[in-house]
Structure 1
Amino acid sequence: MPSEFTPDPELYPFSPRWFDSSRGRVHYIDEGAGPVIVFFHGNPTWSFLYRNIIAGLRDRFRCIAPDYLGFGLSERPSEFTYRIDEHASVMGELVDHLELDQYLSMGQDWGGPISMAVGTDRADRVRGVVLGNTWFWPTSELSTKIFSVVMGSPPMQWAITKQNFFVERLIPAGTSTSLDDAVMEHYRGVQPTPKDRAGVARMPKEILAARPLLERLSRDVPAKLGSKPALFVWGMKDFAFRPGPNLPRMREAFPDHVVVELAEANHFMQEDAPEQIAEAIIDRFT
């Protein structure tokens, strides 16, 4: 069943849309008109994360933001494994269903690999790429590998599913601004039970488990998308995706790039600097 949570129309002033994919019912929003940009979220967020960026862009862009199966308002299919390649396959179905051509994509956190997996399979239909606080290659940092192992361990899987650890602890830790109760309730309310958090619990395991996909993307992204214009918007206070180890690889993959450093933004830069991000997208792609 899809989530029964009802967003506050003042915080999330968008009309719900639905797509019946081969694996389950996907919620997405489709706002504005103009060049198309598709927003891909990470963990443990949903399209709500992009609400303020979309509000700043929808007078110039057609903004599409889906919720992966198991996230946001989308369905939680019992037979779905929530692997990253499965998410990418479903998102590809949505892009094909909407017949998107010459679209921009923006990915943050797991939205980076997912957007790149969708894009490399449809490279002739991708106009440009926006990436921030993300990656698309097998991790080599010991701290990230340890994070994957620890978060995949039984005690932390219990904390993620039973105590909503990722929402209650990691979202506040990953934002420089203090999120008010109403905003936090939108991250909390879409996954009220342990069963609703299966997708969130799976993603940290995928840092290591998705290595075959990430190895492929490390080759395919430069080869198939590297000639596209790119924009990197980076929260410089993010300890998970520090600019030093990550931005040089982004620059190398996309020679035609612009970097916008968000000095005060943390991992969830969409919460910390939405106006700056929207302005950077307008400057780069209009």
Structure 2
Amino acid sequence: MMVDFVPDKTVYPFESRWFDSSGGRVHYIDEGVGPPILFCHGSPTWSFLYRKIVAGLRVRYRCIAVDYLGFGLSERPENFGYRIAGHTTVLGELIDHLQLDGFVLMGQDWGGPIGLGAATERADRIRGLVLGNTAFWPIEPLANRAFSLIMGSRHMQRRILEQNLLVERFLLGELGRTLTETEANHYRMVQPTVEARRGLAVMPKEIRAARTQLAQLAQDVPALLGKKPALAVWGMRDMVFRPKACIPRIHEAFTDLAVVELPHARHFIQEHAPGEIISAIANRFP
């Protein structure tokens, strides 16, 4: 199933591109010319989350932003499991299809584990890493695990599917008046039906279910990517990936790490502080 939604060019001024992966048809944008940067979103967002950052960087970089299967404008295949491992495989296929080499990868939220999972298998092609409000280790805090358990319950799964709970309450609840109605609708309208939201419903359960993959990343990231130039851009008011717990873990993994604190940003840093992120990336990877 494909989503019947056409983005408004006034807020998403990019050409849609498509890749037929082993799991289904993937939507992405590929804008600008220069050193490549691959942007990986989390849940419940899509490449729209990076629109301001892509617009600001495409004058000097080749900016690629992907929608995972089940998200954004990408296909919702019935036989795809929407697990982190599956998304990682499909992202790797896109990287290979585009023949990306010497590229910077940015991941936020689940975009961290998904992007890093693909990057560890292609470490010789990675120029550097940008991590924002994410984790690449098993997520242990009780609040996070309780969220996973509650969101995986039958009642909450029904609310995610029938009421678009993750978009309406968690994403738009945080961003509030920072978005125009048109922008808010771009998050809503790519998830218009129960069938279109099945990929979203899997993600909260992965906090616990993807423990094996996250444990492997906790070993592989320092071993295979730990000497790459890295940048952490962190929303200091995020209650999901708390800076005092997460930033030290990232320091331990990378020998060449710069940290840019975003003091007023919460979880969806691309919406809260796009200008600061644009400057941080340009300064770190000139």
TM-score bin (small chain): over 0.9
1:202-217 → structure 2 map (5 Å cutoff): 202-217=202-217
Partner SS, residue 270 of structure 2? helix
The count of corresponding residues between Structure 1 and Structure 2 is: 286
Find out whether 1:61 has 2:92 as its counterpart.
no
Partner SS, residue 119 of structure 1? helix
TM-score, reference length from structure 2: 0.99
- Counterpart amino acid of 1:163? Q
Distance 1:195 1:176 in 2: 26
Find out whether 1:7 has 2:7 as its counterpart.
yes
Please state how far the C-alpha of 1:176 moved relative to its aligned partner: 7.3
Distance 2:177 2:223 in 1: 38
Find out whether 1:185 has 2:185 as its counterpart.
yes
Deviation track 1:44-82 (CA, whole Å, cap 9, x = no partner) reads 000000000001100010000010000000000000010
Please state how far the C-alpha of 1:209 moved relative to its aligned partner: 0.4
Distance 1:262 1:212 in 2: 31
- Map of 2:125 onto structure 1: 125
Deviation track 1:151-194 (CA, whole Å, cap 9, x = no partner) reads 00011101100000000000133337622211110000001001
- Map of 2:273 onto structure 1: 273
Distance 1:177 1:119 in 2: 36
- Map of 1:52 onto structure 2: 52
Distance 2:174 2:227 in 1: 32
1:99-118 → structure 2 map (5 Å cutoff): 99-118=99-118
Please say if residues 35 and 62 of structure 1, whose CA atoms lie closer than 8 Å, have aligned partners that are also in contact. yes
Please say if residues 136 and 217 of structure 1, whose CA atoms lie closer than 8 Å, have aligned partners that are also in contact. yes
1:217-232 → structure 2 map (5 Å cutoff): 217-232=217-232
Find out whether 1:16 has 2:12 as its counterpart.
no
- Map of 1:248 onto structure 2: 248
Q: Gaps spanning 5+ residues in structure 1: where?
A: none
Please state how far the C-alpha of 1:3 moved relative to its aligned partner: 1.4
Distance 1:73 1:262 in 2: 29
Deviation larger for 230-239 or 169-178: 169-178
1:65-80 → structure 2 map (5 Å cutoff): 65-80=65-80
Q: Pairwise CA RMSD of aligned residues?
A: 0.9
- Map of 2:263 onto structure 1: 263
Distance 2:91 2:279 in 1: 26
Distance 1:191 1:174 in 2: 18
Please state how far the C-alpha of 1:139 moved relative to its aligned partner: 1.0
Distance 2:97 2:281 in 1: 25
Please say if residues 174 and 238 of structure 1, whose CA atoms lie closer than 8 Å, have aligned partners that are also in contact. no
Distance 2:284 2:2 in 1: 36
- Counterpart amino acid of 1:183? E
The share of aligned pairs that are identical, in percent, is: 59
Partner SS, residue 175 of structure 2? coil
Runs of 4+ aligned residues of structure 1 deviating over 4 Å after TM superposition are none
Distance 2:46 2:176 in 1: 19
Please say if residues 107 and 115 of structure 1, whose CA atoms lie closer than 8 Å, have aligned partners that are also in contact. yes
Partner SS, residue 265 of structure 1? coil
Partner SS, residue 19 of structure 1? strand
Distance 2:54 2:113 in 1: 21
Partner SS, residue 208 of structure 2? helix
Q: Gaps spanning 5+ residues in structure 2: where?
A: none
Partner SS, residue 250 of structure 1? helix
